Structure formats: C-alpha cells, structure tokens
C-alpha cells in the first residue's frame, strides 16, 4: 500500500533539550573548487577533498570558486557533495523508504542520495525480526555520526514527533485513515497518520501486529480528549460478509450436486459445526449470494446458480 502524503521535516534544534553538533558529514558544507575531470568537480575544505557529480549540476562551477551542498561518504567510501539536499540531515527528521534488510546489521533507508542509503542499526529495531520493516515501508529518521565518522539513520521518538503533531478532531469517529507504525509497544502500536494525527492500536483491535514502518489502513473508533485517535484494524461487520460468502460459494462449487442441505431454518449448532460460523454470519452470507443471484434456496437447502454455457 502506498501512502501519498506531503512529507514534513522536523528541525530538532526547535525541540527542547536538543544540542546541535558540528560535523562535516551529514550536513550542508561550503568548499572551494580545486579541480575537475570529465565527470566530476573536486572541492576541498580543511584538507579533505570531495567530488561533485557534474551530471546533477545546472551550470558549470568555476575553479577557485565555492560550492555548497550536502556532504556524505558514498557507497564506494568516497567523500561527495550533492547539490540535491536530502530532507534527512543532522538535526532534521524526515521520512525515508526502506530499500533492503540485513539481519546482522539493520535496514537500509533511501533518503534521496544518488548513491547511498543509510542504515538504521538493528539495535534500534524490534527484537522480534518478523516486526522489522520490509522493503517499501516508511521510517521517519534523522542522521547521527558514530566515533568512526560513519553516518547512521536514527529513528524518530514520540517527543520529537510532538513538534508536528496535529490533534485530531472529534468528528473523525468512524473515518478511515492511513497511518504508519513508528513505535511498537507491549500495550499496543503507536502510529502517525498522513495528517500527522497520533493514533493508538490496542492488541484487541488488530488481527496481527503491524511491522515497524508499515503503512496501515485503520478505522477511527474513538477520539481522546487530547486529540489522539483510537484505531482499529479489524473489519466492520459488513466487510466480513464477502469472506463468508466466498466460503459458501466454494463449498457449493465443490459439491457434486452443487447444493448444500442448509437453510436459514437450520440448527445454529449444525451451521457452526459445518461452516465454522454463527447463524447470523451464515444468513448474511446467504443473503449476499442470493442478492447477487449466485444461489437459489428452498426448504431443502441452497443451490448454485449455473452460469450460462455450463
């Protein structure tokens, strides 16, 4: 499922308690252009040389002039400056897309660099690996630099997300929303919607636990006074009918007589034992198929309507 939304960045310098660090990698720098070849310009700052890919430039650079851009180490471990600034930078949080998984390392996230994905360490990921993000999932991250000057992705926290949170309105009850799981807890799943409302999914309101970074379609079952949404991933009653109806249809198709000896007068226990559903579910499924003219019924049971040409 794709989540089309306006991506939003968070400047962590605006969040109380943040102390910005100064690094040359992972942020915007200005360097002096010193050389070029057919493919790259080269620029220096403090004795370090960075390459700039000519293909991304709209106009040539001048030897001796200055160039500004995002500094990083590319996949070939060469220092590079790009003029196409990623939204994810040191002190800035934004959404990235998971591109690959390494169980011994973590997950790789595309933040918009032409030849580099950043890694979110396995230390930040769920201990249950089935709940790790998969390719295409979304993570809101910032960058950090370790003691070896390597760039890593760092997951957003609830405190940081508070900077862009929008309290939900009471009239959202029963609406369907798209949301991304950003934190998994024993008490439930914390999500943020495409409109930056916070949401909570209790374990009773899901058939399985969403992965970290998974985008889900959820139904609003309540709006708390603080504007947090209580959400459910369980289908509404009428949405469950097609599955039950499909089972009835399959059983009729597999029957040698294309019939089943059950009606809405049948004993509920017999229905439960044979179909594994309640009598009310059975009656809704029969009603659905009858309305679509796929079955007929009489006092002897249900009968499949044969398609033309059969």
Q: Which two tokens stand for residue 84?
A: 């196409």
pLDDT tens sequence across 222-281: 999 999 999 999 876 555 557 888 889 889 988 899 999 999 889 999 999 999 989 999
Region of 30 (left: φ > 0; alpha: ψ -120 to 50; beta: rest) is: beta
Q: How confident is the model at residue 158 (pLDDT cuts 50, 70, 90)?
A: confident
User: Across 194-238, where does the E strand assignment appear?
Assistant: 198-201, 215-223, 229-232
Residue 8 has a pLDDT of 57
Cα dihedral sign, 218-220-225-227: positive
pLDDT tens sequence across 268-298: 999 999 999 899 999 988 988 888 888 999 9
Residue 20 has a pLDDT of 43
Q: What does pTM read for this prediction?
A: 0.70
Burial of 254 (0-12, 13-18, 19+ CB in 10 A): exposed
Of the two residues 109 and 293, the one the predictor is more confident about is 109
Residue 17 has a pLDDT of 44
Q: How far apart are CA 32 and CA 46, in angstroms?
A: 10
Q: What H or E segment, with its residue span, contains residue 281?
A: helix 279-291
> Cα dihedral angle (67, 69, 75, 76), rounded to 10 degrees?
10
Burial of 67 (0-12, 13-18, 19+ CB in 10 A): buried
pLDDT tens sequence across 193-216: 999 999 999 999 998 999 999 999
Burial of 236 (0-12, 13-18, 19+ CB in 10 A): exposed
pLDDT tens sequence across 20-73: 434 479 989 999 999 999 999 999 998 899 999 999 999 999 999 999 999 999
Go through the domains of the chain in sequence order and give each one's CATH number: 24-82 (2.40.50.330), 166-232 (2.40.50.140), 238-304 (1.10.10.10)
Q: Rounded mean pLDDT of the chain?
A: 88
Residue 85 has a pLDDT of 93
pLDDT tens sequence across 72-93: 999 999 999 999 999 999 999 9
Q: Which residues pair with 63 in a beta bridge?
A: none
161 with 10: CB under 8 angstroms?
A: yes
Q: Is the pLDDT of residue 13 over 80?
A: no
Residue 240 has a pLDDT of 53
Residue 237 has a pLDDT of 56
> How many other C-beta atoms lie within 10 A of the C-beta of residue 140?
24
């Amino acid at each position: 499922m794709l989540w089309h939304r306006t991506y939003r960045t968070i400047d962590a310098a605006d969040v109380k308690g943040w102390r910005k660090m100064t690094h040359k990698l992972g942020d915007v720098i200005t360097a002096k252009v010193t050389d070029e070849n057919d493919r790259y310009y080269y620029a220096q700052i403090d004795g370090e040389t960075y390459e700039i890919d000519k293909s991304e430039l709209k106009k040539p650079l001048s030897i001796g002039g200055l160039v500004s851009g995002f500094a990083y180490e590319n996949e070939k471990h060469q220092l590079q400056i790009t003029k196409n600034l990623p939204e994810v930078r040191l002190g800035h949080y934004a959404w990235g897309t998971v591109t690959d998984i390494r169980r011994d390392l973590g997950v790789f996230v595309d933040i918009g660099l032409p030849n580099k994905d950043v890694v979110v360490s396995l230390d930040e990921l769920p201990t249950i690996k089935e709940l790790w993000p998969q390719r295409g999932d979304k993570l809101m991250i910032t960058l950090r630099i370790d003691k070896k000057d390597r760039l890593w992705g760092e997951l957003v926290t609830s405190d940081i997300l508070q900077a862009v949170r929008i309290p939900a309105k009471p009239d959202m009850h029963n609406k369907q929303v798209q949301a991304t799981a950003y934190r998994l807890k024993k008490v439930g799943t914390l999500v943020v919607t495409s409109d930056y409302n916070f949401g909570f999914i209790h374990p009773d309101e899901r058939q399985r636990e969403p992965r970290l970074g998974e985008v889900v379609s959820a139904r609003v079952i309540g709006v708390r006074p603080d504007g947090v949404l209580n959400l459910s991933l369980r289908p509404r009653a009428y949405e469950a009918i097609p599955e039950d109806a499909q089972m009835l249809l399959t059983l009729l198709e597999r029957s040698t007589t294309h019939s089943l000896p059950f009606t809405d007068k049948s004993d509920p226990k017999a229905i439960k034992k044979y179909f594994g559903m309640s009598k009310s579910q059975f009656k809704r499924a029969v009603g659905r198929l009858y309305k679509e003219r796929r079955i007929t019924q009489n006092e002897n049971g249900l009968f499949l309507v044969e398609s033309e040409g059969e």
